[in-house]
Structure 1
Amino acid sequence: MLWGPSEPRSGRLAVWGNALLAGAVSPDDAVLAIVGDDAVHRVEGLPDEAGPVGLTLALGRLRALGVTGWRVALPVPGHPLGLSGPPEFNKRALEAEEAVVGYGAGYGLVPEVYEAGSGPGAADLHVEVLWHCLPVREAPPADVPSLGEAERELAEALRDATEVLSRLDVAASGPVAEAAIDAYRARVEEGGPSGPGPAPGYPPRAVRVLELARRVGLLVSVAYENGHGGAVSAAEMAARGEALRPVERVARRARVAAYNAYVEERERGV
């Protein structure tokens, strides 16, 4: 998964779902923020429901079933980040490369995204999301760092990635990356689609970690997408991938740590 300025839908659901559980936002405001630019979100597989239901009803039902918080999982092959089982849930989450995991009750949600309309580029094209509700194992999530650990890792990753990409003569280590990051910041300031943003009550340190993770992720995306730079041989391209893989891993771990900060603070009694 290449990390750009857009955020996973699971991140939006966790951030605003937790704000809703804390009583910091209304159900309508939470659902509006979660849905974003999509046309509609529905949830299927809820206990005692024969078919899909709206997101507002689903979040209320899951709260009644005992969910008191939401964590995020962002797994990729070989790295089940944020997952705790069982295998069926892990398989679906890995296929989607994201999921939310309930805290307080054994339920999780995995998104399935559909494009509806006349065809690619059509004026009536819109996105619909169906969240699959599945049982999850209530256990510590895999490989999720603390916020402090994530922040330290990100600072090192940003420095190391810039150094390695500069050595490989990849354009993304210089002005091209800075221009992309400046454009991203402009979208944030204008209220554009940059991600979930800090919902009411979201821990300030988590906001800082998430923003740094976005910056590191954007650097990786630009490095992959901005042509070959000076890395023209297969060996040099392999070296670029080798340099970026651990950076991608750090950025994903940090995002999960930031999204999960609400639940982690509750566990510590903060």
Structure 2
Amino acid sequence: MWEEPRVGRLAAWGNALLAGLVSPDDAVTGAVGDDAAHRVVGVPGEPGPVGLTLALGRLRALGAVGLRIALPAPGHPLGLSGPPEFNEAALVAGEAVVVVGAALGLVPEVSQVGPPGDVLTEVVWRVREVRQGPPADVPSLGEAERELGQALRDATEALTLLDVAGSGPVADAALAAYRARMERGRQVLAPGYPPRAARVLELADRVAALVGIAEVSEPVGAVSAAEIAHRDALLRPVERAARRARVASYNAYAEELERQRAD
């Protein structure tokens, strides 16, 4: 199901803070989003959990110049560069942030607290050592945009053939939730990102939402296990393209930094 990655919010607003484009308060507000609280554990020099403001300040002092994200899945270590311990933790979480310039990474642990009807989301980011190196399988923005365009066409054709173009109460609820999020006028990325990154991210979110809705849709007529497997096989490369494009979009700031440092 479509969901804005927490690592994306942290990387985007953390990059804006490192660039001096937003205040620490604005950066933390953007990174936390609708969650109740974020804490960071394992920050070098800090014996216990600290808030995001202090954590980002410490990372800057340790040499951080930018933040990248990783969105790995089984068999696809997208955005990761090792070591195995960090990759395994990121795979379990499904996401991670990699610090450019400090050989560190952050992996979120998400928990729900509170009684039914008043549940709050809390996030603990655990800092771990990472291997500095090229992230796995991250395309350029141009490559991601072209790949997404083809993926969107493929997804539309596949869903039409399978009669799963967003039907059923679960799919309807998912589509309504996605539209409500879009109508709230959420800010895509954060100050400092190129317009193309925002455009690619919006397209990636739309494709990811389409895939998520298709996965919970109710096909017309009887559906066999083979037909369900066929649907999943058609959607898998589309979902992969959306994840690659998301990573390329959120990492555009750090990639530009790398190009400037190499010149």
TM range, normalised to the smaller chain? over 0.9
Q: Deviations 1:187-240 (Å, cap 9, x if unpaired)?
A: 32323xx6x623111110000000000111111011111223346122211110
Q: Which residue of 1 aligns with 2:125?
A: 131
Percent pairwise identity: 68
Distance 2:37 2:171 in 1: 34
The reply on whether 1:252 has 2:257 as its aligned counterpart is no
Residues 1:204 and 1:247: Cα distance change in structure 2 (over 3 Å)? same
Partners of 2:163 and 2:219 within 8 A in 1:
no
Residues 1:36 and 1:179: Cα distance change in structure 2 (over 3 Å)? closer
Distance 2:74 2:93 in 1: 11
Superposition map of 1:137-152 within 5 A: 137-152=131-146
Residues 1:230 and 1:165: Cα distance change in structure 2 (over 3 Å)? farther
C-alpha RMSD over aligned residues? 2.1
Superposition map of 1:186-201 within 5 A: 186-191=180-185, 197-201=188-192
Distance 1:167 1:240 in 2: 10
Q: Deviations 1:59-106 (Å, cap 9, x if unpaired)?
A: 000010001000000001110000000111111100000000001110
Residue correspondences, number: 259
Q: Which residue of 2 aligns with 1:19?
A: 16
Q: Deviations 1:97-121 (Å, cap 9, x if unpaired)?
A: 0000001110100000111113xx2
Q: Tell me which moved more, 228-237 or 138-147.
A: 228-237
Q: Which amino acid aligns with 2:126?
A: H
The reply on whether 1:29 has 2:26 as its aligned counterpart is yes
Q: Deviations 1:4-39 (Å, cap 9, x if unpaired)?
A: 1x3110000001000001111000000011111111
Distance 2:176 2:69 in 1: 27
Superposition map of 1:44-123 within 5 A: 44-118=41-115, 121-123=116-118
Shift of residue 161, structure 1, vs aligned partner: 1.0
Shift of residue 178, structure 1, vs aligned partner: 10
Distance 1:229 1:256 in 2: 34
Distance 2:54 2:211 in 1: 38
Question: 1:171 aligns to what SS in structure 2?
Answer: coil
Shift of residue 244, structure 1, vs aligned partner: 0.4
Partners of 1:181 and 1:215 within 8 A in 2:
no
Partners of 1:171 and 1:177 within 8 A in 2:
no
Unaligned runs of 5+ in 2: none
Q: Which amino acid aligns with 1:107?
A: L
Q: Which residue of 1 aligns with 2:166?
A: 172
Partners of 1:12 and 1:34 within 8 A in 2:
yes
Q: Deviations 1:24-56 (Å, cap 9, x if unpaired)?
A: 100000001111111110100111211111110
Partners of 2:171 and 2:216 within 8 A in 1:
no
Distance 1:24 1:206 in 2: 17
Residues 1:231 and 1:71: Cα distance change in structure 2 (over 3 Å)? farther
Q: Which residue of 2 aligns with 1:219?
A: 210
Q: Which amino acid aligns with 2:155?
A: A
Q: Which amino acid aligns with 1:233?
A: S
Q: Which residue of 2 aligns with 1:10?
A: 7
Q: Deviations 1:220-269 (Å, cap 9, x if unpaired)?
A: 01111122334612221111011001111100000000000001112222
Q: Which amino acid aligns with 2:117?
A: A
Question: 2:166 aligns to what SS in structure 1?
Answer: helix
Question: 1:172 aligns to what SS in structure 2?
Answer: coil
